[in-house]
Structure 1
Amino acid sequence: MSPFFTIDFWKDQYGNMASVVGLVISLVGFFITIVGVTKAKNSAEQAKEISNNLLHQLGTRLFLGNIGEAIRLLNDLRADCRSKSWERAIYHGEHLQRLLISLIESPYLIQVEQTQITSAIDDLTLLLRRIESDIDKSKTTQLTSAHKRFFGIYQNSSST
């Protein structure tokens, strides 16, 4: 046996031990990585769930706020009609109409409620057209009487 054989044997044995130690370290590192990825995945899922819950709560509050605003506008419209403040009635009616249109597609409404809101929008449209028509007729009547007064004054002054 040569002395080189014994040196090669020890080199190979140390090399084998280093390979085994490297394998063990790699396996431990792989395990730690898997645990970290799993924790990150769970954390991401929890964050997603929390954000979805917050979005749902925010959407619900916004929806309820819009319903409250619609009720307020409807009460204002009713009061404007009772006091014959037609321009304000049109303003409140158009604002209510836009708000109801935005509510139709809400995921918080069932089909029957969406149909009722659509019907309310149609009724509101007819009401606003009627108010605008009455305002136009009133202005025409006022203009006609003003013209008659003007021309009556003009005719009286020219005949004297």
Structure 2
Amino acid sequence: MAAAGSGGPLVGTGQGGGGDGCRTVYLYDRREKESELGDRVVQVEERSDYAGFRASVCQTLGISPEEKFVITTTSRKEITCDNFDETVKDGVTLYLLHSVDQLLLTATKERIEFLPHYDTLVKSGMYEYYASEGQNPLRKYSIYTNFDKRLLYFLITCSIPSL
């Protein structure tokens, strides 16, 4: 990993976890059609500012500091010095683009953390038990009945091993 100086963000590639007092940011360079497919893991210290973050990104990606580009969220909200601390949270995915309204020519991934509520898990099991009236209670796929169809589709398309 390369540091942008004392007190600046740490930037690297590959898998990484946040250290003490650091926010982990996933950055995709999507300025060109043939851009790098993977993400860059950026460790942003709590006390760092937008200027230090941008300088470190330029140094790591080999971008000239004079080159025009924007860093945006996946919802195309531009990161500026005014909204840096509020927008750049731990685990956020960011794009490096020529402009905010640039088309994305390659696919990107956004990390989604999903933790079902405890009641959802317990009540789905209880419902399945009483609905079965003692005949084959708690089928192995009963938990999927309470999840949204989109989440079920996501699980199926991600090649989750069958139960």
TM tier, shorter chain? under 0.3
Q: Larger relative contact order (C-alpha < 8 A, sep ≥ 6)?
A: 2
* Structure 1 length-normalised TM: 0.24
Larger Rg: 1
If each structure's strand is expressed as a fraction of its own residues, which one has the higher value?
2
* Structure 2 length-normalised TM: 0.24
If each structure's helix is expressed as a fraction of its own residues, which one has the higher value?
1
